[in-house]
Copies of this chain bind each other. A is one copy, B any other.
């Protein structure tokens, strides 16, 4: 018996008509003989309304009350979808986080799943009943509702699929799969049939919005076969799978970009042991996320330039911290630039292929695009360039790595 977890996001359940359409998709899976658990988000707009009320009620809110309030959104969708399923003759019932129970730690607002009790749920699935599970929510040890943070319904779905030993976890969304790059920018972008967990993880953390990073990590750790597919068509989507399942691996699978970073340079900071720690310690203490870091070779052995990027949200805070520590850090001046984009080429194939970075540098140079910062990891190469070149760079790289659709 095939067991499938399906997850539908906010736009897929935006109103009753869409929820009815979702019910039809669930029924189609049931009619194929599958056991189905469905994870739903709040109807789109609902969560924002609830968050807005919570903020109006208390700018600095008690996260336990916040969770109680916002979890109501998924509760409503779960009940409504169960009703729509019953109406078309599918046995179904709703499950709230505390009813399963889906246990989490006590980090309200961004809780982590610790345990999912599946005995009853599994029994019901085997008896042919569809389980409609309210996503995004769980229950803490003090018997209070927790939420998993933004996008948490993806995480609920993958965790549930792992706990239920599901054969597949279908994430229905408003795109029909994972693309080699953003198709709104590169007309020749192709939908990928398969992608590895590691690549998906890089894509997710580098700006591709299809899946939440945490849910991909979870899928990777538990080997859950995730399929990203469209709520609005029957087309096959993209399967996120283990590397072993992909026979012919491309060197580069995709190209991601993020405009969410800003660059900061400390000019002529002392070139001596401990200077990096002195700079990044205070930033870390203030929860500023630092991404790319480059330290130039010192010319005179006394001072060097230190460049790094932070997410734009943290930019003002980072600058303030650095300025207030100017004396102790001993740099000459701060230079910053928000008009930058980080472009990354990603592919597990580059582990076994040389020259991947070189091809990137040459393609960009051909178009006269100056690289400001470079960072590499085992399966990706990222460069920081001026934001003005975003589209030009993406198209050039897409062609250079042979990703263009025929």
Contacts and interface: CB of A to CB of B under 8 A. Distances in A.
Contacts of A64: 93
Given A98-B98, A99-B143, A144-B99, A53 B68 contact: no
A6 to B, nearest CB: 18
Contacts of A83: 54, 57-58, 61-62, 65-66, 69
B68 A79 contact: yes
A304 to B, nearest CB: 49
Number of copies: 2
A37 B84 CA distance: 37
Interface residues of A, number: 38
B66 A79 contact: yes
A296 interface: no
Contacts of A75: 68-69, 71-72, 75
Given A50-B76, A58-B83, A61-B86, 5 more contacts: A57-B87, A58-B87, A65-B80, A69-B75, A72-B75
Contacts of A62: 82-83, 86, 93
B57 A19 contact: yes
Nearest to A71: B75
Interface in A275-304: none
A288 B98 CA distance: 40
A155 to B, nearest CB: 22
Contacts of A143: 99
Nearest to A20: B57
A78 interface: yes
6 contacts: A53-B76, A57-B81, A57-B87, A65-B79, A65-B86, A68-B96
